[in-house]
Structure 1
């Protein structure tokens, strides 16, 4: 048991064995595609979250944003799922990466719930969070849930897939997180930017340790579901 825990800790704090690297041509292609789609995504995000809750343009723009991240991610080059091994001597697997992502998503989501309980006591910060959560109460909850979780999946394919690979030899954990936070700040909401730094950093660690986007996707989707359903009652 002790050796298994040591193995897990080691694998979480180091690059995945046999991490795949793009060719120089592949890197150049990713950087061009990433640059173009970063601008497009930031513009769409800025308009979508600056709209009034209930605005007719909100759903089309958020769907368009998810499409932007997905198209940009897959146009940049191969996107790998990755794998993770839980036991000493065991090989990395897609199932292991899935479980890792789910567990980390629950942990990060729980931390955000605790943070929300503190934040609601600070009026200036609470109002910023409430501005974002207001979109949750507009329209079909099923539709809003699908959009939220779908955007989480798309963001991971782009930022932990395309962006990470585009800068893989130049501190990819830092740059993928910084760019993710800067694009998120296009919404004009500081609290969203703060959340992006925390979530982006965690997902970048998972990307490095699994050499793929599956674990980050699972974490992001679980975190998104927790935020969507647990935070509104806290700030209600």
Structure 2
């Protein structure tokens, strides 16, 4: 009975986090699909280029903030132009608490990984270069651009891109494309983080039929990492 109860709790927790199940996507007219795919491709190219420039800008510089805000505008603007997007539901409710809790769980996983990474010289230096953006930047501004870019990335990758892929393995392909786009930064640790995070966010999109769950998880994770990682390194 105890095992059965624990199993039910685990399954319920996964449902609340928006990780299990499959919500049917809205069927779109062929013309809408073609238009969405064209805009998604153009946005991906522009966004990847801007991502590379923004993460290689001088930490705390005006250029960094301008580029990251432009990047958020490109991801979100392209996604919204591509066609309608949906927030999604889980068990007839908007998924809120579960995705936030999942974000903190992911933070714990990454903290454990960070304790290992900091002992490996080359990997430690890659992480340090990213953390410099948080250390040398203005706190509230760093948080703001992190939140805006987290929202914009979800609107694009788990919103427009996922919808554009349709039935062509959207969870897998959005994860791969998100990781490859992150490689534009030239930082392998950022790409690795994307590789770990993206499948989870994709599963949330599939289970809920929208971008709310993945957005809440993404923001919770990314903002928490700004404050958690610097003291560890």
Unaligned regions of 5+ residues in structure 2, if any? none
In the TM superposition, 1:133-148 aligns within 5 A as 133-148=131-146
Q: What's the counterpart of residue 198 of structure 1? A: 196
Q: TM-score, normalised by structure 1?
A: 0.90
Q: What's the counterpart of residue 24 of structure 1? A: 30
Q: Relative to 1, partners in 2 of residues 1:21 and 1:54: Cα closer, same or farther, differing over 3 Å?
A: same
Q: Relative to 1, partners in 2 of residues 1:150 and 1:218: Cα closer, same or farther, differing over 3 Å?
A: same
Q: What's the counterpart of residue 15 of structure 1? A: 22
Query: How far did 1:69 drift?
Result: 0.7
Q: What's the counterpart of residue 65 of structure 2? A: 59
CA contact (8 A) 1:21 1:165 kept: no
Q: What's the counterpart of residue 93 of structure 1? A: 93
Aligned residues: 226
- Residue deviations 1:133-182 (CA, integer Å, cap 9, x gap): 10112232001111011100110000000000000210000111111111
Separation of aligned partners in 2, 1:118 and 1:4: 31
Q: What's the counterpart of residue 47 of structure 2? A: 41
Q: Within the alignment, does 1:126 sit opposite 2:129 as a pair?
A: no
Query: How far did 1:26 drift?
Result: 1.8
Unaligned regions of 5+ residues in structure 1, if any? 86-91
Q: Relative to 1, partners in 2 of residues 1:9 and 1:62: Cα closer, same or farther, differing over 3 Å?
A: closer
Separation of aligned partners in 2, 1:144 and 1:75: 27
- Residue deviations 1:80-123 (CA, integer Å, cap 9, x gap): 000112xxxxxx211xx112211211111111111111111111
Q: Within the alignment, does 1:177 sit opposite 2:175 as a pair?
A: yes
CA contact (8 A) 2:104 2:220 kept: yes
Deviates most, 18-27 or 149-158: 18-27
Which of the residues 78, 103, 113 maps onto 1:115? 113
Query: How far did 1:51 drift?
Result: 1.9
Separation of aligned partners in 2, 1:209 and 1:185: 27
Q: What's the counterpart of residue 221 of structure 1? A: 219
Q: Relative to 1, partners in 2 of residues 1:4 and 1:119: Cα closer, same or farther, differing over 3 Å?
A: closer
Query: How far did 1:28 drift?
Result: 1.0
RMSD: 1.7
Q: What's the counterpart of residue 70 of structure 1? A: 76
Q: Within the alignment, does 1:230 sit opposite 2:217 as a pair?
A: no
CA contact (8 A) 1:152 1:217 kept: yes
CA contact (8 A) 1:49 1:58 kept: yes
